[in-house]
């Protein structure tokens, strides 16, 4: 089953914004913005691990399963 990012939801839960995450994870703001704006954006496991560490969560908490629509 495919997964989608839930970085935006975790940021909201933590009371943070993309700029905060960019600073904490020491990564480009544009990279963070792509993950927040597009939950289907492809990211490397290394990037997910950096984000998870910066947010103090498990990497798996940044992903959620979803059902693909037929015909896609």
Q: 3-65 — its CATH code?
A: 1.10.260.40
| Structure tokens that stand for 19 in this block | 């700029």
Residue whose entry in the numeric block shows the structure tokens 């990037």: 47
- Packing angle between helix 18-25 and helix 29-37, nearest 10 degrees? 130
- pTM metric for this prediction: 0.86
Strands (DSSP E) contained in 1-72 are 3-5, 63-65
The pLDDT score that the predictor gives to residue 36 is 96
Domain boundaries defined on the chain? 3-65
**Average model confidence (pLDDT) across the chain:** 92
Q: 65 burial class (0-12, 13-18, 19+ CB within 10 angstroms)?
A: exposed
């Amino acid at each position: 089953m495919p997964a989608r990012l839930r970085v935006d939801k975790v940021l909201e839960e933590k009371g943070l914004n993309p700029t905060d995450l960019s600073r904490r994870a020491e990564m480009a703001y544009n990279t963070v913005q792509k993950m927040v704006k597009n939950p289907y954006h492809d990211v490397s496991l290394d990037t997910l691990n950096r984000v998870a560490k910066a947010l103090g969560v498990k990497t798996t908490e940044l992903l959620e399963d979803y059902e693909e629509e037929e015909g896609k």
